[in-house]
């Protein structure tokens, strides 16, 4: 929900959500993404992993009507989801580093960049 909160239009595709879910977990992952966005790393230099827990979290959020899912491709925050995510983001004692990371990078993660990361086009 936090990744969606900071994404353009409060919406994202599953590739971007998977990428951010993996990157946000560890300081090294956050550093790789910041390096990717600054040009320090190529898309093929960053680690990519599918987080099985993300699919369960999205399904739960959908069941709670915090997100909508469009044709199984994109996820969008509902008004209730936006309120819940904002409350988490505003809490001073929760996920400070993660919130700052997502606030900084989620708006800058474009579909074109995600395509390059997931397809490893830089290796060709």
Q: For residues 5 and 86, is the Cβ–Cβ distance under 8 A?
A: yes
| pLDDT score recorded for residue 37 | 96
Range of the domain at 92: 2-123
User: What are the pLDDT digits (tens) for 109-119?
Assistant: 998 899 888 88
Q: In sequence order, which ranges of 25-110 are alpha helices (DSSP H)?
A: 27-38, 52-63, 79-90, 96-105
In which element (H, E) is residue 40 found?
A: none
Residues of the chain with confidence (pLDDT) below 70: 120-124
| pLDDT score recorded for residue 119 | 84
How far apart (Å, rounded) are the C-alpha atoms in residues 61 and 124? Answer: 38
In which element (H, E) is residue 119 found?
A: helix 111-119
What is the DSSP-derived secondary structure letter of residue 107? G
How far apart (Å, rounded) are the C-alpha atoms in residues 36 and 124? Answer: 18
Backbone angles phi, psi at 111, to 5 degrees: -65, -35
| pLDDT score recorded for residue 93 | 86
Backbone angles phi, psi at 72, to 5 degrees: 70, 15
Number of domains observed in the structure of the chain: 1
């Amino acid at each position: 929900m936090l990744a969606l909160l900071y994404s353009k239009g409060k919406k994202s595709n599953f590739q971007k959500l998977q990428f951010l879910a993996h990157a946000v977990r560890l300081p090294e992952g956050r550093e790789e993404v910041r390096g990717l966005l600054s040009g320090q790393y190529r898309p093929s230099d960053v680690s990519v992993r599918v987080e099985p827990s993300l699919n369960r979290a999205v399904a739960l959020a959908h069941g709670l009507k915090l997100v909508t899912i469009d044709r199984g491709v994109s996820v969008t925050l509902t008004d209730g989801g936006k309120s819940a995510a904002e409350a988490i983001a505003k809490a001073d004692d929760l996920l400070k580093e993660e919130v700052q990371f997502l606030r900084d990078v989620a708006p800058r993660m474009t579909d074109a960049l995600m395509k390059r990361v997931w397809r490893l086009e830089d290796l060709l």
